[in-house]
Structure 1
């Protein structure tokens, strides 16, 4: 019996969620992550949101950087930030080379100049652009890259979302998004987009609570399978979306998960399984994730019997996790197994 996929009729289309983002209005809680000030916090200051003057950004490396309002030539070295700025309608002058396909909402970025990779930026090419603002974050958000970028321009900010408390991570994402929006005077749009994100999450959380059962999240990389639990890089499944985890001794931190075998699935017998195909996400040639999981033991689980095993959008879950559209895509993925 082959691994059974979730039924597509249960999928909440991401395009519909994007449309919702243009109609809703709202805000989100604050946190201790990146914040903005122009006399006060960007999340509370109307003056900062208008971007009529310089905006002081406290970035993820603890620096306070005064950023001129509405910078024109922007280099972005983080996919979460790139997706956020694209949603806000902010032009991007240069990006890292994509390792896989970009989602439809970022299709226009395919023609944008590339300047190295997330791990190895092309500093010479960036310098030649004479950017007004350089934004690093995530995989490029480290002291080494920051040091090199400040040799090119003093206008560099690290917009990584770093929050050790999993219950506060979503709030930190919201604050980072508001910070970015305030630089270009787009706080109103940000509130609308965040309201759409929160609604999508809330809708799935309600259904997940009522559905019961347990949920497992696994990442397949080549032939290796790793399982993740609450507190891990994919902890949003349980913390924000309200699913119940399997009763397994999984790591509560770290980015690599626990390597598991096929017996693990049968032992903990999840009601549903979400699968991230890492190889496909980063453009590697490998056996498809569902084929790797297609075994007699996995197929004996409740998840397989009830067609509740489904792949997720790798770009949103692995490359650009900290932005509203990726949370909406995550909600779409999770709805498929409810």
Structure 2
């Protein structure tokens, strides 16, 4: 695929959540779904299976053959487990492509019907005649869940988890169970966990190091708090999100940072990326340049769109790519 001119889906997501004030949920990777069937992967023996969601238990009676994947990273997660959706939200779609992150190696044999991300057409979804809808990381409203459930069994986010706050572990577990691919899901989860463990072991300097993770949009700077996937990524490597940022956390996973507060982004390691703007719009700002972490080379600007998409994806395949590409940047910054 060609390089994308903008982080379309992710940028829309961030903007929508910051503006509407959606709450963050449980960030843990604890079990969030309980299967009642067997553990055979990709087989009818795994069904029926019942999965606990924020809106009650959902039972998938038979192995699904027509899956619509609506949640952020649901499509690439299903694909990683060997199932091609017939419909998928256009989170990262640009210029008619398939909406998959550039790190996804498998690709589709037959591209799915793309569904509008923020305002999906329920008529278009119904027309695909799905027997399963994956919506594990989305706007997470009961109304949305009920409307989708009228079409097909719908796997929404786990109980106690807010909009877009499903962790990659929870997503992988739920999608694996719903597809009858628990073995594949467990293998992929183990691969990702091992990749994080290997990266952390290779860089003991990460352990306990203070980090500030921020973004810059047309509205200005902001910072992420615990409960956000990007912070979880850093925490799994051993970093600790800056206490002063955590102290300002509300129900959002993102707090605005005025230019007068820009010192909040100064940390032992500062990681900032642009959304819908060029990085030069903030890297040339004298206030940014005056931050000690910037002056001392301890600031990393993620301006490669593929890397940034993967870092923000909160999906198992995306995280593997993000680990390969970002960890060396963090290590170099701390090394001075």
TM-score by length of 2: 0.72
Which structure has the higher relative contact order (CA within 8 Å, separation 6+)?
A: 1
Structure 1 residue 143 corresponds to structure 2 residue 142: yes
CA contact (8 A) 1:35 1:176 kept: no
Structure 1 residue 196 corresponds to structure 2 residue 186: no
CA contact (8 A) 1:84 1:324 kept: yes
Change (3 A) 1:304 1:57: farther
1:331 to 320, 323, 326: 323
**Residue aligning to 1:92:** 85
Matched position secondary structure for 1:235: helix
Cα deviation, residue 185, structure 1: 4.0
C-alpha distance after superposition, 1:209-247 (max 9, x if no partner): 424653210022224110123345533145322113334
Structure 2 distance, partners of 1:130, 1:243, is 45
Structure 1 distance, partners of 2:224, 2:29, is 27
Cα deviation, residue 77, structure 1: 0.8
1:139-288 matches, within 5 Å, as 139-153=138-152, 155-158=153-156, 160-161=157-158, 173-207=168-202, 209-211=204-206, 213-232=209-228, 234-250=230-246, 251-262=248-259, 264-266=261-263, 269-279=266-276, 287-288=277-278
Cα deviation, residue 263, structure 1: 5.3
CA contact (8 A) 1:49 1:181 kept: no
Matched position secondary structure for 1:248: helix
Structure 2 distance, partners of 1:272, 1:109, is 42
1:315 to 284, 309, 314: 309
C-alpha distance after superposition, 1:15-65 (max 9, x if no partner): xxxxxxxxxxxxxx9725233222xxxxxx645885415232223224222
CA contact (8 A) 2:223 2:245 kept: no
Change (3 A) 1:88 1:310: same
C-alpha distance after superposition, 1:51-97 (max 9, x if no partner): 41523222322422221343111111113211110111101101123
CA contact (8 A) 1:233 1:254 kept: no
Cα deviation, residue 299, structure 1: 2.4
**Residue aligning to 2:24:** none
CA contact (8 A) 1:248 1:268 kept: no
1:24-43 matches, within 5 Å, as 31-38=30-37
1:52 to 39, 45, 50: 45
Stretch deviating more after TM superposition (190-199 or 255-264) = 255-264
Change (3 A) 1:189 1:145: same
Question: Which ranges in structure 2 are unaligned for 5 or more consecutive residues?
Answer: 1-27, 95-99, 332-336
Structure 2 distance, partners of 1:239, 1:215, is 9
Aligned length: 288
CA contact (8 A) 1:97 1:114 kept: yes
Question: Which ranges in structure 1 are unaligned for 5 or more consecutive residues?
Answer: 1-28, 39-44, 280-286
Change (3 A) 1:94 1:308: same
Change (3 A) 1:132 1:230: closer
Structure 2 distance, partners of 1:52, 1:309, is 48
Matched position secondary structure for 1:35: coil
CA contact (8 A) 1:226 1:256 kept: no
CA contact (8 A) 1:233 1:253 kept: no
